Amino acid sequence: MSLPAQTASPVLCIDIFWGPEVLAGAALAVVDVLRCINLVAAMRTPRVTDPVTWRWWCARGARVPQSLPQGSRWRGRASMVVVPGWHAQSGPHLDQLVTQAAPSAARLAQVHTAGGLVAGLSTGVALLGEVGLLQRQAVVPWPFVGPVLRHAPGVALVTDRPWTVDDRVWTCDSPVLATEVVLNMLSHTPVAELAMAAAHVFLHSESRQQVAAGMALGGLPRLLPPGALERARRWLEDHMTEPYSLSATAQAAATSPRTLLRHFASAYGQSPLDYLHGLRVARARVLLETTYVSVEQVGQMCGYQDTGTFRRLFARQTGDLPAAYRARYSLRTSRKRWVGVA
């Protein structure tokens, strides 16, 4: 998504529930995601109005602590609502918290009826059941299955995954999933591409961890575990920017090229060359997201002397040409702003 130079109002408005015994960590995790999205948007387009904002929706009689981060003001109805859940001591305690919040919870159904998105994190799932939003299936925290079923007797329990979405209603069994769940919700909104950029920062990515560590550590020697395939794989990683040589890779693995091809495909589902392309594209993604290096230089830093070949292989794996990928997922501010030029 390409944001305009300046927007008159936020693209997306989110209500976050607050009240007695609320899971503050989960609530603030939601805010952290939204602030990251606004930061990425500002880095890409200086002086842009925050594309997302939030307000604290309180249970009747509750007050929002002044220390909580505030979003930019807006008027009107939210298009997304998140219930972080409570520190419930028992089933009856959760029932009490839900009963206290229920008179203020009509907006959950209103937002959903208007086409908006609703999430219940951990014990917050019970409030969704109380207002009739759990019609088919939900993930429920295991210590509170009984209380949730009292508030949503017809719901089917999903037990093979930590969170799920059904008819624009997200439910999960743990407050530590708040970041992942909210990022997934945002992927269904007008700020989906900004949410993807934020996901690259907040969610674990083994390939990015390996690429970043390799770039930082440079050519430091590493101990290789035994095994021809592992030696071949490590050879490709250590010589990523050099011209590909099947014979050199096989020699490093102490086997023949033909044998290496057969066993490498059996173990990894691809040829050594395809594996090398995957490594190079993973590195190119990081460089495009976080540096000012030109596309041509990125290709060369990843082992492609021909820019056309680099563009073609990058597009084959990502669905985007390098320049388009950078425009979508860049995590850096403009060069002028970085060096302090007005």
In the predicted structure, residue 46 carries a pLDDT above the cut 90: no
Mean pLDDT (the chain) is 87
Q: Tell me the mean pLDDT in the region 252-274.
A: 90
Residue 28 has pLDDT above 90, yes or no: yes
Angle at 172 between CA 168 and CA 175, to 5 degrees: 125
- Give CA–CA dist 301/97, Å, rounded: 57
* CA atoms of 342 and 340, how far apart (whole Å): 6
Please give the residue that has the higher pLDDT: either 142 or 47. 142
- Judge whether residue 188 has pLDDT over 90: yes
Taken in order of first residue, the domains within the chain and their CATH numbers are 12-202 (3.40.50.880), 206-329 (1.10.10.60)
